[in-house]
Chains A and B, each alone.
Chain A
């Protein structure tokens, strides 16, 4: 038999591994909540100019790309946030807009690593609503939709891009990025010694790789924040926490590097005990619209539904 009759390309996801009915049921229950909160569902193009993403530090080598009839480079979309920002910008408005979306995104992965190049996402963007008001609306929406996933052991994590960026500007050495990102305890000690950092900043840096966990971490970090803007960033997280009605599974991580260059405020991740990758990610991006020469504060989040589906399968297996 010829190969194509039984093989799929390595890039493809395993169609048989997914319970399609369950996926669509979860999708529909998320859609119902998004719609009830007046989020307008968008259908977005699969093909984009590669340059749309290029200016935003998306690694070009991870995009599926080809050349179109104009001789321009086209890529399969790698996310929904950037195309939605473009769409909003074309409206020439500063009004508040609520958008939702469901669909696949495409990004190549290392070979033989068991990661999907094609992944199914569902999420929202809340554009034009600044500060804590927008943050709270998004977090409430997450807390309302998380129980729809049929997963029990979940943690919702809040971090701060503002804290990270302020710390980087105080320290001013880019080698700190990797130390923070990988929580390198040993390396941080060497870093502090090598730069002869003393006093409050030394205490803060040495503690940083431990700076994650429940609400007590914020109290601790407030005593260590040696700068008004660092303190403010931690205080913002605490204010948000206080305003949330449901606090049980909330955790924090202040030793965190934002995954996207356009994140400015809170960063949101949701973890399942049964998934090695987050099942939800998002955050505030008040500068992304600047990229389109329009200054509008925004926030959004996305469910990584492949990871959700895999976690559901594993959690059920574990509980059987």
Chain B
């Protein structure tokens, strides 16, 4: 039996579809109502949680395997796990975005940057050796420049349509994001074969067979 925590919503659907395509019985998941924990006939025990909580469950050894976006992993202070697979789905990227004038404007003060991902924003500007003030917003981060709270934002960009609708544009791409399969360090030692069965089902077809 392997215990798995999956980020609720889109990642849950993507991963379950990938497993179904490899012959796993995913019907109990697709047919679930509001249950938070489900066992499949392939010996997978799955829980569905918010992305940050997937890391917490994994860290405490409650689950063996987690499926989570790399955005959540980058923002978390915890990284004591194996990050075995990049599933190459749920792809988007972190970007610095602002009104076009941002590029040419001279600031005679610290820039103000709004973000839900304060750690990512801080590391990005640290890599540029630039000192900025970071303001945490919990959602609709585009409001930052729109209402004049911040000069720019650091946020996840998928299509860019929200940015465009508000007159903002990507100033610079920071890093790519995708869904990852992570594994508890101790679990892997005790359940190598079971976990590799899952890895082999999920890794890309064209990948080198090591």
Interface residues of A (CB under 8 A from B): 110, 113-114, 153, 155, 157, 182-187, 189, 203, 206-207, 209-210, 212-213, 251, 253, 271-278
Contact = CB atoms under 8 A, between A and B. Distances in A.
B31 to A, nearest CB: 30
Contacts of B185: 276
B186 to A, nearest CB: 5
Interface in B154-191: 183-186, 188-190
Interface of B: 56, 59-61, 77-79, 81-86, 88, 183-186, 188-190, 192, 196, 199, 203-204, 207-208, 210
Contacts of B88: 186
A210 B210 contact: yes
B210 A113 contact: no
A221 to B, nearest CB: 13
B189 A212 contact: yes
B18 to A, nearest CB: 14
Contacts of A273: 186, 190
Contact of A271 (B77, B189, B208): B189
6 contacts: A182-B81, A183-B84, A184-B86, A203-B210, A272-B186, A276-B186
Contacts of B56: 113
A276 B82 contact: no
Contacts of A210: 196, 210
Given A183-B83, A189-B207, A110 B190 contact: no
A19 to B, nearest CB: 20
Contacts of A153: 190
B53 to A, nearest CB: 12
A213 B207 CA distance: 22
Nearest to B203: A185
A274 B184 CA distance: 12
Contact of A275 (B61, B78, B85): B61
B84 A276 contact: no
Chain B interface, DSSP helix/strand/loop, else mixed: mixed
The 8 closest A-B pairs by CB, nearest first: A276-B61, A186-B86, A206-B210, A182-B83, A183-B82, A207-B210, A110-B77, A271-B186
Given A186-B88, A186-B203, A212-B189, 17 more contacts: A114-B60, A155-B189, A157-B189, A183-B84, A183-B183, A184-B83, A184-B84, A186-B207, A189-B207, A189-B208, A203-B210, A209-B84, A273-B190, A274-B61, A275-B61, A276-B60, A276-B185
Contacts of A272: 186
A275 B204 CA distance: 32
Contact of B85 (A114, A186, A253, A278): A186
Contact of B84 (A157, A185, A206, A274): A185
A213 B192 contact: yes
Contacts of B203: 185-186
Contacts of A209: 84, 210
B138 to A, nearest CB: 18
A253 B83 CA distance: 16
Nearest to A278: B186
B119 to A, nearest CB: 12
A261 to B, nearest CB: 18
Contacts of A155: 189-190
A277 B208 contact: no
Given A189-B207, A212-B192, A213-B192, A277 B186 contact: yes
Nearest to B186: A271
B50 to A, nearest CB: 15
A180 to B, nearest CB: 11
A119 to B, nearest CB: 15
Contacts of A207: 210
A187 B192 contact: no
A84 B123 CA distance: 38
A210 B203 CA distance: 14
A113 B61 CA distance: 12
Nearest to A153: B190
A62 to B, nearest CB: 12
A317 to B, nearest CB: 13
